[in-house]
Each structure stands twice: as structure tokens, then as C-alpha cells.
Amino acid sequence: MNRVYIKTYGCQMNERDSEAVAALLRARGYRIVQDEAACDVLLLNTCSVRDAAEQKAIGKAASVAQQRKRNPRFILGILGCMAQNRGAALLDTLPDVDLIVGTQKFHQVPDYLDNLRAAQAAGAPLASSIVDIAEEAGSQNKIKDHILPQDDFGRAGTPLPAAAASGVAALPMVTAFVSIQQGCNMDCAFCIVPKTRGDERSRPMDEIVRECEELADRGVREVTLLGQIVTSYGRRDYAHTDGITPFVQLLERVNAIPGIKRIRFTSPHPRGFKEDLIQAYGRLEKLCEYVHLPLQSGSDRILKAMNRPYSRDRYRQIVDDLRRVRPDMYFSTDIIVGFPGETEEDFAQTRELFEACNYDMAYIFKYSIRTGTPAATMAAQASDEVKEARNQVLLALLAANSDRRNATLLGTTQEVLVEGPDKKGLGYMGRTRGNRIVHFAANERLIGELVPVRIERASTAVLYGQLALAGVAH
């Protein structure tokens, strides 16, 4: 009765947290299963960025709570941001939840599950749920364990015990997320993250570098450094050295790890793009020419209302400076449409800047009221119809941008990191340095290698190509 399934909602930070929880549970003797129907313990790692994300997790929890009628020892837990945001109040809606664990207590999940299972083994009913959303100093240092299939099952192609009957193989994982910083001190008017993740807290640089070195030794070739405001890393813990911020110092050290071939990071803040970070794109060869640069709005008036400490001109200057250093830079962004008080003129300014920056990817959100944030009580809340219309305008622009950029890649040869088989069974997939997904025919032995792929056709979201390696079997 120790089979655990973890379902993750939301961002890459949540994915990383879930992986760390899974690694801790497996070390404690739990089995991490990939089939929800086969689990005895279901953990929902939740998101609170928008109300819809919370409602989706609540609906899921309500539906699976019925499993206890079939399995009296079934355990249901809610982790992460929604747990932190709502705490014990979740039990008013979901009385059958056994475990509620906040964002600074992920490392306590194995102990809490042990306690619940011990009570079950003793024949005692689970009379009360465990709720822990307290702050804990140093909790950011606990998100450091990884589960890599190559650790347990050797080289590519060795069957997983649970999947061997179906012929599924455990292939090496060549990309990994590394948490370097948690929490946020920015207090944007629309955002609940400071409440759900707490104040900024950074991990020691030596520990992060050691984690990346260990990942490289285990076959990982690309790392993505994660933080709520990743560019704020270490600003209270480390000195600037010759004008180099702690975050860029960390990039330099990861860049020097022989086994790591590519570096990415998310999510930054525009204020973090000082000259040292901009120049890093020209001198750190492993730092991919891909930037996620959240805009939120192109109107200075709305940016001020959002409590975003930059102007549209400053934002555009960052984009231009980065393109001067790397003319082939790829950009993605976050945009909120329908923020309270956003007029047609404000949206027109957002659209204008959106077009000028020529984004390759964007996450476009319709403003969602988050109780407890300043924006929730602002006047002139936009209607759903207005939000949807503005959302569709930007989505259409984004599709056109993506098609235009992909058209420029036709006939070119791109460096691709081979990640593994694609999910549709069409061959293998990997990503360019610009974070474009590429599908192509290849051999399993190329997983983890950087290979040249000639781009032959493209859709809006995906590239298709052919290996440009002479003498290499596809």
C-alpha cells in the first residue's frame, strides 16, 4: 500500500517540487507510479496563479475522494501553492483530504505519509487531517533531489519493471530543472505568489554548482535554473564582483561544468537585466540565446497600476540591447489582458509593443481576480468578453510571429539536443538553442547528443527535419 502518484499543476517550479518530493518518497521506500489508477496515495501539487487553476485541482480532489469507498486505505494529499493559499479552509470543501502541505514543507511529506500509514496499520481511523503551511527557514535548500531513469535502469533501452510487459523502456533524461531561489518580494498588484511562496530565499551557490555537476555526471546535458524571480538570486547573500551580479556569477560557474552543454533559466524580472547579464549572452557559450522576459502590459499607466517597476521604453531597450548582443535571440513573454482599468488605448499600446518585440512565444493570460491582492478590489474590472477579445488579438499576432520565424529556419541546419522519442511515435525530438521543438528520424544512441538537423518543414509550433550527420544511421 505504498504506491504514490503525483499530479502536478502549473509552472516549472511546481514540476521541480514534485520531482523532489518523489525522490524523497522513493528514498523512504515508496513506489512512484505513472498510472493514477494504480496508486494508494494521490498527491496533487497545485497552482494558485489563477482561480481556474485552483478550481481544477479542487474538482480533481473531489472526484478522487470517492476512491476511499473502494479502498479505505486510500490517502489524498494537496500540496503546494493552493495548499499554502487556502490551508485548513480547504477542508470545508474537501473534508476527505488527509494531507495539506504548503510550499515550505515539501520535505515533510514522507514523514506525514508515514504517520498516516502507521495509523492505518494500527487500525485507527484517520480522524483528523494533517495541515502544515508554516514557514520554515532554509526550506529552499531541500529542493535538491532528482529522479533520473538512467540511475536505476542503466543504459538506454533497459525496461522499467512496471512497464516491461508493455515494452516501454527507460530512456535517459538529458534535461533537468535546478531550483536556485524561491519566493518573491516584488508585490505586483495582480499576483498571489508572495503569499504562496514567501519572501525571496536563495540557495548557497556552491550547493547549486555541486548539484549541476552531479547531474552532469548522471548524464544530464541541459539545466534550467529556476526561481520565482531567478535574476534576484543571491542579491542579499553575495557581493557583486567587478560589476558582476551573483546571478551572473552563478551562470559563469555552471557554464564551466564540462558535462553541461546548455543553460537556460526562468522566470526572470526585467529589472534583473543589467549590463552584466546582457553581455553574458555574448560570452557564455552554453547560455542559450532564448530569453523569457515578462512584459505583462505595454502601457506605462497599467504597469504603474500593476506595481511593475519599469516603463515600456525601458523594456524595449532591454530587448534591443539583447538583440545587439545576439541578433538571433529568441524571446518569450507573459502578458495579462483585461487588468482592472485597462482601456482600449492601454491595450493598443500593449499590442504595439507586442508587435515591436516580435515574440517567438508568449503566455497570454486573461486577468483573474486573486482574493487578497490589491488588484482584486480595483475599480473598472473588465468583462469576460473584453478579456477574451483582447486575448484572441494577441494570440493571432503570436501565431503569425511564430510562422514568420519558423519560415526563416527552413533550409537551415540547427543544433539540436536529442531528448528522446516523440510522444506521437513519429521518431525522435529535441530542441534548438532557441527552444524550438524539432522532430526527426534518429537512433536511440543519439539521446543526449548535440546533433545538426536540417529543417525541412514547419508548423506554427513545431519544426521537422533530417539529421545532417554523414554516416549516422537514422
The per-residue DSSP string of 225-261 comes to EE-TTGGGTTTTTS--BTTB-HHHHHHHHHHT-TT--
How far apart CA 294 and CA 363 sit, in angstroms, is 9
| 472 located within any domain | no
Three-class SS of residue 99? Answer: strand
Residues 194 and 251 in one domain: yes
- For residues 410-435, one letter each, b for 16 or more C-beta atoms within 10 angstroms of the residue's C-beta and e for the rest, the string is eeeebebbbbbbbeeeeebbbbbbbb
Q: Is pLDDT of 160 > 80?
A: no
Residues 82 and 151 in one domain: no
Res. 72 pLDDT band, cuts 50 70 90 = confident
- Where does 94-238 show beta strands of DSSP type E? 99-101, 130-132, 158-159, 169-170, 175-179, 181-182, 201-202, 222-226
pLDDT score, position 73? 85
How far apart CA 450 and CA 432 sit, in angstroms, is 9
How far apart CA 15 and CA 10 sit, in angstroms, is 8
Mean pLDDT of 101-112: 97
Mean pLDDT of 90-113: 96
Domain boundary among 385, 408, 431: 408
pLDDT score, position 426? 75
Q: What is the CATH number of the domain that holds 223?
A: 3.80.30.20
How far apart CA 250 and CA 263 sit, in angstroms, is 11
Res. 158 pLDDT band, cuts 50 70 90 = very low
How far apart CA 207 and CA 312 sit, in angstroms, is 37
Report the chain's C-alpha Rg in angstroms.
23
The per-residue DSSP string of 34-48 comes to S-GGG-SEEEEEE--
Share of the chain above pLDDT 70, in %: 94
Mean pLDDT of 410-420: 97
| 273 located within any domain | yes
Q: Which residues contact 279 (CB under 8 A, 6 or more apart)?
A: 325
Domain boundary among 139, 156, 188: 139
Residue 199 vs residues 47, 103, 229: alpha-carbon distances, Å: 18, 12, 11
pLDDT score, position 94? 94
| 92 located within any domain | yes
Mean pLDDT of 368-394: 95
How far apart CA 454 and CA 373 sit, in angstroms, is 48
Res. 78 pLDDT band, cuts 50 70 90 = very high
Residues 223 and 102 in one domain: no
Q: What is the CATH number of the domain that holds 23?
A: 3.40.50.12160
Residues 217 and 312 in one domain: yes
Count of C-beta atoms within a 10 Å radius of residue 161: 10
How far apart CA 124 and CA 464 sit, in angstroms, is 57
Helix then strand count (H, E) for the chain reads 15, 21
Q: Which of 202, 82, 77 is nearest to 139 (CA)?
A: 202
Residues 74 and 190 in one domain: no
Residues 250 and 385 in one domain: yes
Domain boundary among 117, 139, 161: 139
| 474 located within any domain | no
Where does 237-328 have alpha helices with state H? 246-255, 275-283, 300-306, 312-325
What is the average pLDDT value for the chain, to the nearest integer? 92
Decide: 223 and 215 in contact? Cβ < 8 Å: yes
Residue-wise pLDDT tens digits, 5-61: 999 999 999 999 999 999 999 999 999 999 998 999 999 999 998 888 999 999 999
Residue ranges making up the domain that contains 116: 3-139
Pairing verdict, β 201-202 and 3-8 = unpaired
The per-residue DSSP string of 1-32 comes to --EEEEEE-SSHHHHHHHHHHHHHHHHTTPEE
Decide: 110 and 117 in contact? Cβ < 8 Å: no
Pairing verdict, β 75-80 and 158-159 = unpaired
Q: What is the CATH number of the domain that holds 428?
A: 2.40.50
pLDDT score, position 152? 65
pLDDT score, position 438? 97
Q: Distance from CA of residue 415 to its chain's centroid? A: 23
Residues 164 and 129 in one domain: no
Q: Of 74-78, 359-363, 393-397, 425-429, where does mean pLDDT reach its minimum? A: 425-429
| 473 located within any domain | no
pLDDT score, position 170? 63
How far apart CA 324 and CA 318 sit, in angstroms, is 10
Q: How far apart, in Å, do the first and last CA atoms of the chain sit? A: 43
pLDDT score, position 121? 82
pTM given for the model: 0.92
Q: Is pLDDT of 471 > 60?
A: no
Task: Report which residue type is found at 53.
Answer: A
Count of C-beta atoms within a 10 Å radius of residue 206: 9
Residues 126 and 148 in one domain: no
pLDDT score, position 162? 35
Residue-wise pLDDT tens digits, 216-273: 999 999 999 999 999 999 999 999 888 899 999 999 999 999 999 999 999 999 999 9
Domain count, the chain: 3
Residues 124 and 146 in one domain: no
Residues 112 and 240 in one domain: no
How far apart CA 354 and CA 222 sit, in angstroms, is 29
* Greater pLDDT, 470 or 28: 28
pLDDT score, position 144? 93
- For residues 174-189, one letter each, b for 16 or more C-beta atoms within 10 angstroms of the residue's C-beta and e for the rest, the string is bbbbbbbbbbbebebb
Residues 259 and 384 in one domain: yes
Q: Which residue has the cell 538553442?
A: 433
The per-residue DSSP string of 349-409 comes to HHHHHHHHHT-SEEEEEE----TTSGGGG-SSPPPHHHHHHHHHHHHHHHHHHHHHHHHHH
pLDDT score, position 15? 96
Q: Is pLDDT of 141 > 80?
A: yes
Where does 122-168 have alpha helices with state H? 149-153
Q: Of 142-156, 272-286, 424-438, 439-453, where does mean pLDDT reach its minimum? A: 142-156
Mean pLDDT of 282-287: 97
pLDDT score, position 126? 61
Share of the chain above pLDDT 90, in %: 84
Residues 249 and 315 in one domain: yes
Decide: 38 and 1 in contact? Cβ < 8 Å: no
Residue-wise pLDDT tens digits, 309-356: 999 999 999 999 999 999 999 999 999 999 999 999 999 999 999 999
Q: Which of 419, 29, 442, 385 is nearest to 220 (CA)?
A: 419
